[in-house]
Amino acid sequence: MAVERFNLTFNTLMYNQPIVYNLGKKYRLITVIEKANVSEEAGWMQVAFNGDGEEIQRAIADLNTIGVIVTPTEIATLT
């Protein structure tokens, strides 16, 4: 199982969407929200994705497709 940390940046149109919930359902990830600041104008979230490395990469591609800016912060693999 991989644990990868990212900063996610959202625009005005996304603040009330269940983006993190949808990732967990679609890609079988456990998402830990470590820090966040979300308002109607914009927002950011520091998250840790726990799951299969390929699933994490698919989730990131999906986030990029919908306009979320994804920046890696740290990568750690648990054995």
CATH number at residue 29: 3.30.70.260
- Which pLDDT does position 41 carry in this prediction? 82
pLDDT tens-digit profile of 16-66? 889 889 998 999 899 999 999 988 888 899 999 999 999 999 999 999 999
- The total of structural domains in the chain comes to 1
Phi, psi angles (nearest 5°) of residue 43: -170, 165
3-class SS letters over the chain:
CEEEEEEEEECHHHCCCCHHHHHHHHHCCEEEEEEEEECCCCEEEEEEEEECHHHHHHHHHHHHHCCCEEEEEEEEECC
Enclosing domain of residue 31: 2-77
